[in-house]
Amino acid sequence: MSSHGDPALDALMLPFADGTLPRAPGALFLRARGGAALSPSDWPGLVWENPFRPDAESLRRAGFELQAGDADETAAARGGGAGEAGAGDAVEGRWPLVLLLPPRQRDEARALFAEALARAAPGAPVVASVANDAGAKSAEADFARIAGPVASRSKHKCRVFWARAGQAGGDPALAAQWRALDAPRLVAGGRFLSRPGVFAWDRIDAASALLARHLPTDLRGRAADLGAGYGYLSAELLERNPGIAALDAFEADARALAMARHNLAGFTPRVALGFHWHDVATGLPGSYDVVVTNPPFHAPDGRERPDIGRAFIAAAAAALRPGGRLWLVANRHLPYEQALGGGFGEARMVAQEGGFKVVEAVKAGGAGVRGASRR
């Protein structure tokens, strides 16, 4: 990611670049992203956390290596740093500087503001940056409610703001309440566990529900759910198709993947389940008979990114065995037809409703779409 492509990161670095704030060795960076503004040489011992796999990879590309250790996706999402410094530089497990790029979802952001203050050493700066069109003024006001008076600057159509942990004027009681705002909770009438910040976290997404209603019942073999979220489509697929013997859930957000692991646990007696903290746009490591997906078409900063959906389709086409079947739902206006035509022998429109379209496509070399689906 270039500096031009991440103005919030550029803005976050401003008070350090001009000397307003000192860089502290062994700083903690929550929801960190790599970019030209963030150099390993400027931040020795930086420890970073980000549950979003593409952002984790951007940090690797920038030279901030993940620490060795547990390969579990949640542990990987939380761990990372450059060199041997990091936790040892924290004061009693708290950090001399905490940097933060808050998420867009408000409860999740409030929880992360409170987490940042709790993990900062007394008097340590906590510094955040938010794009103006992502709610910068509201985010700054939220931070001030629990941190006390803040200093701020505006540049790159963003606001960077900071306060010192434990300063007068903060509200520790409210901060303690906010730390629990993104806790997992039951949704959809108690059927699924989810949490704020996960895609469509508090409901069943309308597009996914449309795809689920049109899934056939004759799917079998090894399946994959690309962009599995908290596991809704995987659960619907497995409930309708007893012939599926194995399912891999691929999800770039480790927080969502942890929910999917919980929500699909009931299928373990009959289905071999795999959970992968993975950027589907980079391709898939296995081969499959069935793929279901409701691919994302926005970046985390809200920009429309139809190229992500096209990359999901290409990954599905490469991973499906001959005759393998892709079931896809997308917004009707998204131009996926060319991607489907390039990777599949046949494709058909199954349904159009509420601004969405459901498509079935079959990998060349198999029986074809017609007659493949028995409802």
Report whether 116 contacts 128 (CB < 8 A).
Answer: yes
Q: 0.75 cut: is pTM over it?
A: yes
Element (H, E) at 337: helix 337-343
Phi, psi of 26 (to 5 degrees): 75, 30
Lowest-confidence range among 62-71, 101-110, 360-369? 62-71
pLDDT band at 250 (very low <50, low <70, confident <90, very high): very high
DSSP-assigned letter for residue 245 = E
How much is the pLDDT for 78?
A: 58
* 297 has a pLDDT exceeding 90: no
Q: 185-362: which CATH number, 1.10.10.10, 1.20.140.10, 3.40.50.150, 3.30.110.40?
A: 3.40.50.150
- Domains 7-178 and 185-362 are alike in CATH topology: yes
CB neighbourhood size of 180 (10 A): 10
Domain boundaries, the chain: 7-178, 185-362
Q: Which residue has tokens 């746009």?
A: 281
Burial class (CB in 10 A: 0-12, 13-18, 19+), 361: buried
Mean pLDDT of all residues in 207-216? 97
39-53, 235-249, 358-372 — which one is most confidently predicted on average? 235-249
pLDDT over 50 (residue 68): no
Instruction: Please tell me the predicted confidence (pLDDT) of residue 366.
Output: 64
Ramachandran area for residue 302 (φ above 0: left; ψ -120 to 50: alpha; else beta): left
Give, in order, the Cα–Cα distances in Å from 203 to each of 110, 155, 194, 198, 230: 21, 36, 9, 11, 11
Q: pLDDT per residue over 113-138, tens digit each?
A: 999 999 999 999 999 999 999 999 99
- The residue assigned the tokens 């689920």 is 212
pLDDT at 245: 98
Say yes or no to pLDDT of 291 above 50: yes
Tokens of 155: 């540049």
Kindly report the CATH class assigned to 7-178: alpha beta
